[in-house]
A and B are shown apart, each in its own frame.
Chain A
Amino acid sequence: MSWFAGVPEVGERLRGVDYLADDGIATSVFLAGALGKPLLVEGPAGVGKTQLAKAVAGASGAELVRLQCYEGLDEARALYEWNYKKQLLRIQADDDAWGDIFSEEFLLERPLLKAIRSDAPTVLLIDEIDKADVEVEGLLLEILSDYQVTIPELGTIAAVRKPYVVLTSNATRELSEALKRRCLYLHLGYPTPERERDIVLTRVPGLSGNLAEQLARTVATLRSLELKKSPSIAETIDWGQTLLALGREELDEDTIGETLGVVLKHHSDHGRAVKELGLS
C-alpha cells in the first residue's frame, strides 16, 4: 500500500487533521511512505514532533502504536516477552509439554512486535529515542532496515504489512551512524512567523487574526534573543490560550509583562526579555 500519492496531497491531508506542514515536512513525510523508510524527526522540545506522527496516523486512517523510550527500556518491554507463569502452569499440568511451551500461545506482544505483526495499516511511533540507552538502538536496527524481528525460539517474523515508522529525538545525545543511515532525517525547527500565526489560529479557535499575528511576531523576537530556552510552538499556543482566557484583544507591553511566564521558564530569560523588549 502506498501511504500518500504525492507531496501536495500530504500537505492537504495533514491540514485536514489540523497539522500545518511546510515544504520540508510534507516532502519528508511523503518520501518516508514512498520509499518505505523510517523517518527520524529531530528538534527542540515542543515543535510538534510527536504531533507529526499522530497527524500522519490520523491523516491516513492508520492505527498508532507508540513506544515511549526511557532509560532502562529493554527487549522485554519493547519487543516481546515469554509468559513465564503460563509456561510454568503448562509444564506442571502436562509432563510432555516441554516441546511446545515456546509457541505463539505464550508470547506476549510488546509495541514493536505488535506493529510488525499487524495486518492493518500501522504508524509506529518510537518517541524520544535519545532517552533510551545505546543498546536499544542496536535492537531497533533489524526492525528499521528489514521490518522483521528474530525470536530465537520461533525464528524470524517478517512484517505482514510494512508499518510507517516515525522516530523522534530531542538531540540530548548523538544517535549512532548506523541508525541515522537507515532513516530519512527531518529537522524540525521553529517556524516562520507566518506559519506560526496560522498554527496558532488553527489550534486556538476564537483568537483574532490580528492578535495571532502580534503573538507570532513577539515570539519571533523573543527567539532572536540569546535565551537559555527559546519559546516553543506549544508554548506560543499556550500563550494564545492564556490571552483568550483573559479576554485580551491587544498584546501590549502590560499584557506581555503579566503573561511572560507562559513562554519563558527561566528566571534569567525573563530578566533578559524584560530588558530587551523595554518592558517595565
Chain B
Amino acid sequence: MLDRHVGFVGALREAGVPVSLAEGLDAANALMVIDLMDRESLREAYAATLIKRPVHRPGFDVLFDLWFPPVMSGGSAPERVEYEENTPVEELRGILQRLLMGNPDDPAFREFVREMVGRFGRVAAGPGRQSWFSYSVLRALSPETLVARMLNQMLSERGGLPEKLARQEISSNIRKFEEAVASEVRRRIAEDSGIERIARSAVKPAIDRLDFLRVTKAELAQLRREVYPLARRLASRLTIKNKHGHRGRLDFRRTVRASLSTGGVPLTTHLRPKRPHKPELIILCDASDSVSSFSQFTLLLTFALREQFTKVRAFAFVDTVDEITKYFAPGADVLDAITRMTKEADITRFGRTNYGNVFTRFADRYGDAIGPKTSLLILGDARSNYQPPALDTLKHLVSQARHAYWLNPEPRPQWDTGDSIATSYSTIIPMHECRNITQLAAFIENTDVGAR
C-alpha cells in the first residue's frame, strides 16, 4: 500500500499537480482513518488532501483509476448478463440503448463497458503487437446513431422542450459511456505494459495550461466558461493593486495651511490622493482561422474587464481591418457577438493574413484613435505570408500610444520559423508569448495594461 501511495503521489507531481511533502503526509494519515475497501471514499480522501485546485481534478481522476483500479467482480453480480462471443452487434447495440436510457451508475453499465472493450478494443498496433483503443469500440457500437431511436422511444411526439431535455440527458449518458470506455482501455493498457507508461500520456493538461492554438471545440467552450471567473479574479486583483499604489504628488496648499499651526514650519506634509489610472485600450486582433480561438478568448476577457478601462475599442483583421467594438456591447451574448463579428465585419479580402497592409489601413482609417492615454494591444502570430511588414507604420503607431504590447500565441521557439517575422516586430514593440490562460493572466497583472 505504501509503495502504491508513493507511486501515486509521484505520478501526480509528474502530471503537474503540486503536491507538497506535508500534503502527502496528510493523505497517508487520512488512509489510516478511512475504510480502505470503499473505493469512492479512498478517492475522495486523496482528493481532499492532495488536490487544492478544481482544474487538477480531471487529471487526478484518470490517475486514480489507473493506480487503484476497481476490483473485478468475478461473475458474482446477480443480474450479470452473459455476452456470448458471437452475439450479433445489432443485439449489443440494443443492450447499449437500454443502458443509455437508464442510470449510468448501474453496475450492469460498467459490466457492459468491460465486455465491449474486451471484444472490440483490441487492435493490432504493429507486427506481433497488440494494443487497446477506444475508437474501435465506439465505432463498432456507434452510440451517437442510437439517439434518434432513443428519442422516438422516450417521447410520444418530437420537438419542443421535452426533446431538448431528453437530448441533454442522452448526450450526457453517451459522454459517460465514452469516458467509461476510455478509462477501461487505459486500465487494460496499464495491465499489459505497466502503469507508468500509460500515466504519462493519459493526463491532459489542466484547462489553464491548455495551448490556445491547439484547443478542440469542446475545450474552447470550456475556455469561454472560464472568462467570467477569470475576469472577476483579475479585476479584484487589479483594484487591490490600484489601492496599494503610492500616494500622489505634494498638495502644496494643504501643506502650507497645516504649517500655520506650527508657526509656519511645515512639519507634516499633505499629499494629494492619487488619481486612479484608467487607460483607454485599443485591441487589434488577428481573426484569421489559425489564431481565432486565441483572439476570441482574449477579446472576451478584455471586454469582461471593461470596468478597468475607461474605453475599449477593438479592431479585427485578416488582410484588412474593421472596428468590431459594437458587437461586444455590454450584456450582449458572447456567442452571438463572435458569429456576428465573423459574418458582418469587413476584415477579409483575399483571406490570407497581411500584417503590412493591415497596419497601413489602420493608420489611415483609425490612426487618430491612438492618443497619449491609449494602450495598444496587438494579438496575432506575426505570420504575414511573406508580405511587406510595414515596420515604419507600426513604429509610428507605437510611438503615439502610451504603452504598446504584442501578444503572440505561438511558443517562443517557433518564432521566426517559416513566414513568421516575430523578431522584426519585437524590436519595435514588446512581444510576449501568451499560450494559455495562466500566461495571459500573468501578463495582465504584471504590466500597465490594466492599472498601475
Residues of chain A whose beta carbon lies under 8 Å from any beta carbon of chain B: 6-7, 23-24, 26-28, 30-31, 34-35, 37, 40, 42, 133-134, 171-174, 177, 180-181, 183-187, 189, 193-194, 214, 217-218, 220-221, 224, 226, 228-229, 252-253, 256, 266-268, 271-272, 276-279
Contact = CB atoms under 8 A, between A and B. Distances in A.
Nearest to A134: B240
Report, nearest first, the 10 A-B pairs whose CB atoms are least far apart. A27-B44, A34-B33, A28-B48, A180-B52, A184-B48, A221-B168, A268-B333, A23-B40, A187-B54, A27-B41
Nearest to A223: B168
A258 to B, nearest CB: 14
Contacts of B233: 171-174
A31 B164 contact: no
B58 to A, nearest CB: 12
B451 to A, nearest CB: 15
Interface in B158-173: 159-161, 164-165, 168-169, 172
Given A37-B26, A220-B169, 10 more contacts: A7-B35, A31-B34, A31-B48, A42-B54, A173-B233, A180-B52, A194-B103, A217-B168, A253-B160, A277-B161
A272 B333 contact: yes
B229 interface: yes
A171 B34 CA distance: 29
Contacts of B40: 23, 27
Given A7-B34, A31-B49, A24 B232 contact: no
Interface in B24-51: 26, 29-30, 33-35, 38, 40-41, 44-45, 47-49, 51
Contact of B165 (A34, A186, A217, A272): A217
Contacts of A35: 26, 29-30, 33
Interface stretch (B123-131, B220-228, B272-280, B387-395): B220-228
13 contacts: A24-B48, A35-B29, A40-B52, A172-B233, A172-B236, A181-B22, A184-B26, A189-B54, A226-B335, A252-B161, A253-B161, A268-B333, A277-B161
Contacts of A220: 168-169, 172
Contacts of B323: none
B395 to A, nearest CB: 38
Contact of A226 (B23, B51, B57, B334): B334
A189 B165 CA distance: 21
B332 interface: yes
B237 interface: yes
A27 B160 contact: no
B70 interface: no
Contacts of A185: 47-49, 51-52
B331 interface: yes
Interface string B153-192: 0000001110011001100100000000000000000000
A164 B127 CA distance: 61
Contacts of B35: 6-7
Nearest to B103: A194
Interface residues of B, number: 46
A28 B44 CA distance: 7
B20 interface: yes
Contacts of A23: 40-41, 44
A278 B161 contact: yes
Contact of A267 (B33, B47, B331): B331
Contacts of A218: 161, 165
A31 B52 contact: no
A89 B48 CA distance: 51
Interface of B: 18, 20, 22-23, 26, 29-30, 33-35, 38, 40-41, 44-45, 47-49, 51-52, 54, 57, 103, 159-161, 164-165, 168-169, 172, 221, 224-225, 228-229, 232-233, 236-237, 240, 331-335
Contacts of B47: 24, 185
Nearest to A25: B44
Given A24-B44, A186-B48, A181 B38 contact: no
A54 to B, nearest CB: 20
Contacts of A171: 229, 233
A218 B169 CA distance: 10
Contacts of A224: 168, 172
Nearest to A217: B165
Contacts of A221: 164-165, 168
A217 B26 contact: no
A217 B41 CA distance: 27
Nearest to B159: A278
A279 B161 contact: yes
A267 B48 CA distance: 37
Contacts of A256: 161
A27 B161 contact: no
Contact of A184 (B49, B232, B332): B49
B51 to A, nearest CB: 6
Nearest to B39: A23
Contacts of B168: 217, 220-221, 224
A173 B103 CA distance: 37
A7 B29 contact: no
Contacts of A187: 54, 57
A277 B44 CA distance: 35
A29 B411 CA distance: 43
Nearest to A145: B22
Contacts of B20: 181
B38 A7 contact: yes
A172 B48 contact: no
B331 A268 contact: yes
Contacts of B160: 253, 278
A144 to B, nearest CB: 13
Given A172-B233, A184-B48, A220-B168, A266 B54 contact: no
A202 to B, nearest CB: 20
B236 A173 contact: yes
Contacts of B161: 218, 252-253, 256, 277-279
Given A173-B233, A180-B52, A253-B161, A27 B45 contact: yes
Nearest to B50: A185
B332 A27 contact: no
- Tell me which of B18, B168, B169, B240 has the highest count of chain A C-beta atoms within 10 A of its own C-beta: B168
Contacts of B18: 177
Nearest to A193: B169
A89 to B, nearest CB: 31
Contacts of A173: 233, 236-237
B9 to A, nearest CB: 15
